[in-house]
Structure 1
Amino acid sequence: MTTANINVRVDEKLKKEAEELFNDLGLNMSSAITMFLKSAVRYDGIPFDIRRTSVNAETLDALAEYEEMKKHPEKYKRYHNFSDLVKDVDNEA
C-alpha cells in the first residue's frame, strides 16, 4: 500500500498532550490519526458527536424568561409543594 503525507497545523501544547496520550496507549501520532481516518470512513462521518457551543434560540428565550421571573416574581404563580403544582397543571389540561 502506498502512503501519502498529511501536514496538519495544531497548537503546540495540544500536540504535546496528544503525543503523551497516544504514547501511553502504545501509539504514535501517525497511527492515531490513521485510526481516526479509518474510523471516519467506516462510520461515513465524524465518529463522535460534534456540537456547537453556543445555545440555540429556544434556550436563549428560556433564559430570558427565567431572568424576567427573577426580576418580577410577583407576576408568577408560586407553589408550596409539588403536588399543588401537579393539581394546577391537571386542572388546566
Structure 2
Amino acid sequence: MKTAVVQTRVDAALKHDADAFFESIGMDTTTAIRIFLKQTLIQHKIPFEIIQDGSFYSEKNMKALEHSKKQMENGQHSIHELVEI
C-alpha cells in the first residue's frame, strides 16, 4: 500500500497528553489518527460527538446573555471603552 504523510501543528502540551493517553491504552498517536480517518470514511461523519469544553453555550451563560440583550433593547445599558493595559 502506498502511503502519504499527514503533517499538522498542535500545542506541545496537547501532543504530550495525547501521546501519554494513547500509550496507556496500547497504541501510538499515529494509529489513533489512522483509526479516526478510517472511521470517518466508514461512517461518513466525524465518528464521535464533539463537545464544547468551555461554558460559552452553557444554559447559565445563555440566560445571562439573553438578560443582557434585553437590557440593551430596553436602554438599560452603559457604554464602556476598551482600554489597553
Shorter-normalised TM range? 0.5 to 0.7
TM-score scaled to structure 1, two decimals?
0.56
Structure 1 runs of 4+ off > 6 angstroms? Answer: none
Q: If you compute each CA radius of gyration, which structure gives the higher value, 1 or 2?
A: 1
After superposition, give the CA deviation of every residue in 1:46-92 in whole Å (9 maximum; x if it has no partner): 11123566439xx448952xxx9xxxxxxxxxxxxxxxxxxxxxxxx
Which residue in 2 is equivalent to 1:12? 12
TM-score scaled to structure 2, two decimals?
0.60
Which residue in 2 is equivalent to 1:78? none
Q: Measure, in 2, the Cα distance between the counterparts of 1:33 and 1:17.
A: 15
Which residue in 1 is equivalent to 2:40? 40
After superposition, give the CA deviation of every residue in 1:3-32 in whole Å (9 maximum; x if it has no partner): 110001000000000000111111111111
- Structure 2 unpaired stretches of 5+: 72-85
Task: Pick one of 54, 57, 63 that aligns with 1:55.
Answer: 57
Q: How many residues in Structure 1 have an aligned counterpart in Structure 2?
A: 64
- Structure 1 unpaired stretches of 5+: 69-93
Q: Measure, in 2, the Cα distance between the counterparts of 1:39 and 1:11.
A: 24
Which residue in 2 is equivalent to 1:24? 24
More helix as a share of residues = 1
1:18–1:51 Cα change, 3 Å: closer
Aligned-pair Cα RMSD in Å: 2.8
